[in-house]
């Protein structure tokens, strides 16, 4: 039996933002362990445009046509068999395996958590990927401790803004890079030292840090080796750092590749509800302007997370 229809943004072939089109699709039905959400807001992550551009075909193959989007905030429309922890009408947020640029999406219950009570849907959709990536980079991979020093590259971004706050919350000394317009913002998140990456080469002023969290990659990653103390760790979220280089320099290296869960998100929720962690909502677009949202994401500059507002 049909569950009705919905509107969704998808691409039928790889290419530029113009490949994103509004289609009418069958509304999906939740299977065992799944939840059907009415989507109120979807986060726009860099990985969304990378999928669309075809950059990830080798590593993370997808089936076309594809509805982008992982970050979601919405209300429970229907639960599948075996789902007992969520009920119809409940506000939740979490991580879908694609499909959130749509009026409805099916998500495994294990990837959802109740939405923080003090956030709007738009704010909540800006959280999951950014906060969980930052959490795992700092605590799962780097085991950051109070009193240690961490350098966060891209401290104003969707991941970086959470990394700065979480490292500060842990009691670490935080150094962060950002462009001139974002320096005060990054300081307000808890960075002890901020560096305008256009004015100062960070490696000329930073040394002996315990942890580098790199959200930028390329040349920034390569220049980061030299600022680590012996035994320190470089955690990248963009590309695998060279194990050989790490060995040569007597440091460690890791790439964040975590399967995030709703359980992890519950911990983030507690920090948000207690006011210790604040999401930074970037520009908000309508679903039909997903192409403009991805164009903006593709500039690789900005503050916080871009969001699609899909329903009130």
Ligand X SMILES: NC(=O)c1ccc[n+]([C@@H]2O[C@H](COP(=O)([O-])OP(=O)(O)OC[C@H]3O[C@@H](n4cnc5c(N)ncnc54)[C@H](OP(=O)(O)O)[C@@H]3O)[C@@H](O)[C@H]2O)c1
Q: Which is nearer to ligand X, 142 or 178 (CB)?
A: 178
Using CB under 6 A as the binding rule, the residues of this chain from 185 to 204 that contact ligand X are: 197
Quick one: which of 106, 129, 268, 272 contacts ligand X (CB under 6 A)?
129
Q: Which is nearer to ligand X, 157 or 232 (CB)?
A: 157
Listed ranges 9-17, 24-32, 213-221, 246-254: which one lies at the site for ligand X (CB under 6 A): 213-221
Quick check: 160 binds ligand X (CB under 6 A)?
A: yes
Quick check: 182 binds ligand X (CB under 6 A)?
A: yes
Quote the least distance from Cβ 110 to ligand X, whole Å.
18
Quick one: which of 127, 138, 167, 216 contacts ligand X (CB under 6 A)?
216
Quick check: 177 binds ligand X (CB under 6 A)?
A: yes
Q: How far apart are CA 71 and CA 114, in angstroms?
A: 14
Using CB under 6 A as the binding rule, the residues of this chain from 30 to 89 that contact ligand X are: 45-47
Q: Which residue is nearest to ligand X (CB)?
A: 157
Site size with ligand X, rule: CB under 6 A? 28
Quote the least distance from Cβ 218 to ligand X, whole Å.
8
Contact 225, 234 (CB under 8 A): yes
Query: x-or-dash pattern for ligand X, window 249-278, by CB under 6 A?
Result: -------x----------------------
Quick one: which of 17, 30, 154, 262 contacts ligand X (CB under 6 A)?
154
| Positions that interact with ligand X (CB under 6 A) | 45-47, 129-130, 133, 153-154, 156-160, 177-179, 182, 197, 215-216, 220, 237-238, 256, 297, 300-302
């Amino acid at each position: 039996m049909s569950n009705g229809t919905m509107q969704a943004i998808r691409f039928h072939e790889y290419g530029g933002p113009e490949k994103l089109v509004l289609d009418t699709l069958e509304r999906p039905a939740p299977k065992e362990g799944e939840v059907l959400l009415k989507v109120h807001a979807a986060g726009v992550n860099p990985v969304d445009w990378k999928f669309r551009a075809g950059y990830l075909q080798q590593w993370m193959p997808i089936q076309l046509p594809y509805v982008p989007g992982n970050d979601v905030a919405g209300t429970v429309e229907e639960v599948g068999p075996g789902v007992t922890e969520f009920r119809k009408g409940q506000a939740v947020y979490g991580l879908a395996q694609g499909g959130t640029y749509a009026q409805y999406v099916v998500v495994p219950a294990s990837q959802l958590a109740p939405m923080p009570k003090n956030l709007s849907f738009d704010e909540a959709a800006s959280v999951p990927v950014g906060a969980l990536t930052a959490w795992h980079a700092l605590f799962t991979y780097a085991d950051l401790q109070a009193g240690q020093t961490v350098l966060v590259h891209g401290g104003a971004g969707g991941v970086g803004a959470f990394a700065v706050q979480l490292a500060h919350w842990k009691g670490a000394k935080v150094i962060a890079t950002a462009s001139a317009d974002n320096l005060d913002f990054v300081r307000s998140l808890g960075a002890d030292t901020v560096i305008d990456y256009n004015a100062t080469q960070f490696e000329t002023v930073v040394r002996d840090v315990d942890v580098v969290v790199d959200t930028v990659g390329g040349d920034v990653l390569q220049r980061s080796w030299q600022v680590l103390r012996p035994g320190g760790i470089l955690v990248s979220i963009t590309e695998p750092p060279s194990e050989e280089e790490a060995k040569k320099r007597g440091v460690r290296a890791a790439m964040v590749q975590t399967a995030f869960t709703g359980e992890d998100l519950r911990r983030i929720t507690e920090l948000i509800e207690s006011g210790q962690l604040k999401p930074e909502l970037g520009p908000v677009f309508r679903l039909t302007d997903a192409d403009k949202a991805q164009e903006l994401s593709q500039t690789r500059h900005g503050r916080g997370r871009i969001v699609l507002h899909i329903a009130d």
